[in-house]
């Protein structure tokens, strides 16, 4: 799968996961609905500004839009204590 289709698949994945329509995403990211549709179908090449706007609108890390499985890796806990695991 090329990068455009991977990006588009993930935009759609996260949008639907949040119960958001293309219209809502377009409004939040300040994009045209037709452009969001083309992004999701892998027909447009997103700029850095667009990637940032979409990730902010979806409340996800920009890198999540490029994950192979559309997975959300948990962010590491900062300042947490380490647990010792014994058998």
Domain boundaries in the chain? 3-66
Q: What is the pLDDT of residue 15?
A: 96
19/21 Cα distance (integer angstroms): 7
pLDDT digits (tens, 9 = 90+) for 22-75: 999 999 999 999 999 999 999 999 999 999 999 999 999 999 999 986 444 444
Tracing tokens 């969001």 back to the chain, one arrives at 36
32/20 Cα distance (integer angstroms): 15
pLDDT band at residue 1 under the 50/70/90 scheme: confident
24/31 Cα distance (integer angstroms): 10
Please say if the pLDDT value at position 83 is more than 50.
no
Average the pLDDT over 70-83 and give the result: 46
CATH of 3-66, one of 3.40.50.150, 1.10.260.40, 1.20.140.10, 3.40.630.10: 1.10.260.40
């Amino acid at each position: 799968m090329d990068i455009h289709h991977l990006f588009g698949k993930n935009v759609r994945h996260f949008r639907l996961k949040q119960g958001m329509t293309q219209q809502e995403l377009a409004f939040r990211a300040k994009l045209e609905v037709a452009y969001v549709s083309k992004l999701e179908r892998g027909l447009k090449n997103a700029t850095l500004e667009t990637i940032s706007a979409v990730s902010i609108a979806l409340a996800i890390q920009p890198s999540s839009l490029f994950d192979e499985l559309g997975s959300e890796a948990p962010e590491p806990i900062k300042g947490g204590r380490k647990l010792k695991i014994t058998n």
